[in-house]
Structure 1
Amino acid sequence: MLRIGLVLYPGFQVLNLSVTTVFEFANITAGEAFYDVVLLSPQGGPVLSSAGFAVATQAFDDSRFDTVLVVGDNDVSEPPPGLTAFLQRAAQTSRRIGSTCTGAFNLAQAGLLDGRRATTHWAFAAQFRRTYPAVKLEEDRIFIIDGPVWTSAGMTACVDLALALVEKDMGAELARLVAKKLVVYHRRAGGQSQYSALLDLEPRSDRIQTALAYAKQHLHTELSVEQLAQAAHLSPRQFSRAFRSETGQSPGKAVEHLRIEAARLMLESGRHPIDVIARDTGFGDRERMRRAFLRAFGQPPQAIRRASRTEDEQPA
């Protein structure tokens, strides 16, 4: 049985507790108690969550854990007494150590991320980078594995991290079954972006939202302004003016962002040739897709695919 120590402290973001459900369902799916999850805190006893209710915890002691994860909170606060020392000890005695959301600040405070790649919630990335310049922060990642150190982005990304841990320990098929029972997509690849092109656009009117939904469903086609305007039941001129007013982008630039997002997801899955991805996402050919990726990420599609494969091949 693998013991998982989940470290909490006052004000922890309650969504981080969802990692316990991933391990719970891994046990249920396997038909055996493969994981033993223990909630920990410096003093033990009830620990108040961000939602205002308390969770019972055990105090830090000399117990050993296979994996230790420290959670984040809604802000970045000073670590409580004893937390830094515990994490430093855990890094020496545990097979893996990691963080979810802003918990990366606690790992960095303990000196466990110096010289390593790591990620955290995108909203705190600038602060993290200023405070811990020795860490190779990659804010546009769902999770990152650097040797025995695992870090995830914010909020729901903790589920992806936990599913990746289960996949590493128990195999891809069992992790897929756990994800299915949790009614989530099979865990997002670690290299996947924290951002969503549709969320960034945030159109206000139903007509522009309908046009964007149409675009996402028909990325393999040309998607001219005339087509999008027809989907929105507007004239091309009205549509272009309304689209820019609501999103701050031209229709063409927005469609390119949607194509890039779809292509990146296909690259990270590792199952499709680049020529097929370029065709299915509407770029037409790999050179046009390459230029779009260079504009968006500063690197070609092949580099993103290699980075995704490298993370998947990291040892536990």
Structure 2
Amino acid sequence: MLNNVAAVLLDGVHPFELGVLCEVFGLDRSDEGLPVHDFAVVSAEGPVLRTHAGFTIGSLHGMDRLDEADLIAVPAGESYIGRDYPPELLAALRRAVERGSRVLSVCSGVFVLGAAGLLDGRRCAAHWRNAAELARTYPRAVVEPDVLYVDEGPVITSAGTAAGIDACIHLVRTEHGPEVANAIARRMVVPPHRDGGQAQFIERPLPRSRCDTVGDVLGWMERHLDREITVEQLAERAHMSPRTFARRFQQETGTTPYRWLLRQRVLLAQELLEATDETVDSVAGRAGFGNAAGLRHHFLRTLGTTPNAYRRTFRGPSHAA
């Protein structure tokens, strides 16, 4: 279980990315029945650090605090690319992974993980502006330049600022379940889940208005995941031709209607398996997969596990049926 969290800073840290970690892991929300993390901000380079915004941060914990952490998070910073990092920090990151703790990077913090050797042979995410440099600097890393974040075992990497929020909420969901993740996301007024494989940025022309043209259709799809849904039906609701609708949907969501719908159905099935005692057949029906065989097929393809195994992981052996 994720209880002890340390954000480790270097000189030039970006305050917003640090703020993301503080918001997700550092606030006491026990009055809402949510878990409280033992959160600390650690300095890797002296008692006072300069931020990218020009002000300084003091009263920081020492490096020994990292040896207690279940999660070590490295936010982005100025000039993190092409610099040297304190050897004791890199050693602490390696020890964390060796003992089974997680490490997480936000944006250019991924270069610190690379310097520690934690990206070797692993898939990882990076901001699209830094992806090529990351691949050149750490050729053994498997850089995926188009995704929001990658959860590769104990190492989680994320792209830009908003993707860091997504990665943190994903981690909360993995460790504490969907109800906790959704509650924190509501407090932060951010989406409760964006798939890590979603595109980092979406090519779209300037809209004539501030409203997304497929926004209402997305809401309808979410409310009717159990139905048979076709692109033709969706296009009719949006008052477009199927071809125009499919193109607009891709522009505004970064994915196809089928992939978006499939991901939402898998997410709903995950929530039902975690939070209810419904049978797998019942979960499959409510999530729009028809039957247990259909749900199992898509679970294996999307998550690499079966519905029963997933439920056992979150609720124990007695809830496997």
Question: What TM-score, normalized to structure 2?
Answer: 0.62
Aligned to 2:168, what secondary structure does the other structure show? Answer: helix
1:210 corresponds to 2:216: yes
Distance in 1 (CA, whole Å) between partners of 2:11 and 2:151 is: 23
Deviation at 1:20, TM superposition (A): 2.0
The code of the aligned residue for 2:104 comes to S
Task: Using CA pairs under 8 Å that are at least 6 residues apart, name the structure with larger relative contact order, 1 or 2.
Answer: 1
Decide whether the 8 Å contact of 1:88 with 1:112 is kept in 2. Answer: no
1:98 corresponds to 2:109: no
The code of the aligned residue for 2:241 comes to F
Percent identity for Structure 1 against Structure 2: 18
Q: Equivalent residue for 2:82?
A: 78
Higher alpha-carbon deviation: 34-43 or 257-266:
34-43
Deviation at 1:109, TM superposition (A): 1.2
Deviation at 1:227, TM superposition (A): 3.6
Q: Any gaps of 5 or more consecutive residues in structure 2?
A: 315-321
Q: Equivalent residue for 2:156?
A: 151
- Could you say what the CA RMSD is over the residues aligned between the two structures, in angstroms? 4.9
Distance in 1 (CA, whole Å) between partners of 2:79 and 2:29 is: 32
1:37 corresponds to 2:40: yes
Q: Any gaps of 5 or more consecutive residues in structure 1?
A: none
Decide whether the 8 Å contact of 1:129 with 1:135 is kept in 2. Answer: yes
The code of the aligned residue for 2:114 comes to A
Matches within 5 A, 1:231-246: 231-232=237-238, 234=239, 238-246=240-248
Distance in 1 (CA, whole Å) between partners of 2:250 and 2:173 is: 36
Distance in 1 (CA, whole Å) between partners of 2:179 and 2:214 is: 40
Distance in 2 (CA, whole Å) between partners of 1:288 and 1:174 is: 25
1:303 corresponds to 2:304: yes
Deviation at 1:264, TM superposition (A): 2.6
Matches within 5 A, 1:1-316: 4-10=6-12, 12=14, 14-26=16-28, 35=38, 37-49=40-52, 52-57=53-58, 63-65=64-66, 66-67=68-69, 68-73=72-77, 77-79=81-83, 81=84, 83-91=85-93, 96=101, 98-102=103-107, 103-115=109-121, 117=122, 119-121=124-126, 123=128, 128-129=134-135, 131-135=137-141, 142=149, 144=151, 146=153, 149-153=154-158, 154-160=163-169, 163=172, 179=184, 182-183=187-188, 193-195=195-197, 204=207, 208-224=214-230, 227-232=233-238, 234=239, 238-247=240-249, 254-269=256-271, 270-271=273-274, 275-276=281-282, 278-285=284-291, 300-301=301-302, 303-305=304-306, 309=310
Check 1:179–1:303 CA distance in 2 against 1; reply closer, same or farther (3 A cut): same
Deviation at 1:22, TM superposition (A): 3.5
Matched residue count: 284
Check 1:152–1:305 CA distance in 2 against 1; reply closer, same or farther (3 A cut): farther
Question: What TM-score, normalized to structure 1?
Answer: 0.63
Check 1:278–1:258 CA distance in 2 against 1; reply closer, same or farther (3 A cut): farther
Distance in 1 (CA, whole Å) between partners of 2:79 and 2:279 is: 42
Q: Equivalent residue for 2:319?
A: none
Distance in 1 (CA, whole Å) between partners of 2:126 and 2:285 is: 33
The code of the aligned residue for 1:70 comes to V
Check 1:25–1:118 CA distance in 2 against 1; reply closer, same or farther (3 A cut): farther
